[in-house]
Amino acid sequence: MPIAGMTNPLTGLPTIAGLAVLVDDVAGRANYYRTSREQWTVSSELTVDINPVAYSSLVAAPDEPVIASARGVGAPGSPLLSVCDLVHAGQPIGVGTVHTLALEGGPDTPVTGGADPLIRTPSTTLADLMAVEPLPGGDQAARLRQRPDPIVNNLLGIVHGGVSSAALELVAAAAINHDRSDPQRTGSIRVNFLRPFIVAADASAESVYAGTALRVGRSTAVADAHAIGQDGKVALVARVTTYR
């Protein structure tokens, strides 16, 4: 997956948020392939840990994609656990994990979304790909609105867990780096999936990601982020740690 060149729509800074999409997809598939044909899977936890070398590697070889390879851990059961190795330009840059719940009675066939409303070009932004847009925040807070988009939905018709996780990283990092002359870089992402995050077809629906800085120090910082559905309920929670 190409990562270099992606920027946070709230700060304009380079971001590795897209790695959450990659980990959720690849590690989630590793778990799914270990279930029976009568079962469906949903992610319950996702983590991404990044080595600082990732940032210099992406700058040095921006045309190289990040390669993810995942494997199941332990015997199949519920929850299922998989671990994902992330490699860029031949060197390890991080790891990810996904916990997955196996459910009985899933849909017989994948739920199709619809035609892609986005005309993709080399200059298409990360925000456009994720169908998110900035909202007013505050000194220690940052917000993104999730727009209705059939492409960012997963096979169950829910906003893709990787997309939501990436958006949580964006708002958390933006809250930490608000008005900073020496921005910090994300070292870890921890996400819990509480309930389906569904964006209504009504374009006026307010489904948002909100990030708040908990502690911003000179060398490290921590922020929490939430995905809040149109019903006002928290669907996902995340904690992001950054380093200078």
Residue type at position 138: G
Query: pLDDT tens-digit profile of 225-235?
Result: 999 998 889 99
CA 98/CA 92 separation, integer angstroms: 18
What per-residue confidence (pLDDT) applies to 198?
85
What per-residue confidence (pLDDT) applies to 150?
82
HEC assignment per residue over 146-182: ECCCHHHECCCCCECHHHHHHHHHHHHHHHHCCCCCC
Which of 163, 162, 39, 26 has its CA nearest to residue 82? 26
Residue carrying structure tokens 């190289």: 64
| DSSP conformational letter for 59 | H
- Tens of pLDDT along the chain (244 residues) come to 999 999 999 999 999 999 999 999 999 999 998 987 778 888 999 999 999 999 999 999 999 999 999 999 998 887 999 999 999 999 999 999 999 998 887 665 555 556 677 777 777 899 999 999 999 876 678 999 998 888 888 766 689 999 999 999 999 999 999 988 899 999 999 999 999 998 866 666 689 999 999 999 999 999 999 999 988 899 999 999 999 9
Residue carrying structure tokens 């995942």: 70
Domains, the chain, ordered by start: 18-106+117-243 (2.40.160.210)
What per-residue confidence (pLDDT) applies to 124?
87
What per-residue confidence (pLDDT) applies to 156?
65
Query: pLDDT tens-digit profile of 117-134?
Result: 777 777 789 999 999 999
CA 58/CA 152 separation, integer angstroms: 25
What per-residue confidence (pLDDT) applies to 2?
93
What per-residue confidence (pLDDT) applies to 205?
63
| Whole-Å CA distances, 97 to 9, 35, 70 | 26, 17, 9
What residues form DSSP beta bridges with 104? 39
> What angle is formed at CA 158 by the lines to CA 154 and CA 159, rounded to 5 degrees?
75
Which of 62, 1, 17 has its CA nearest to residue 174? 17
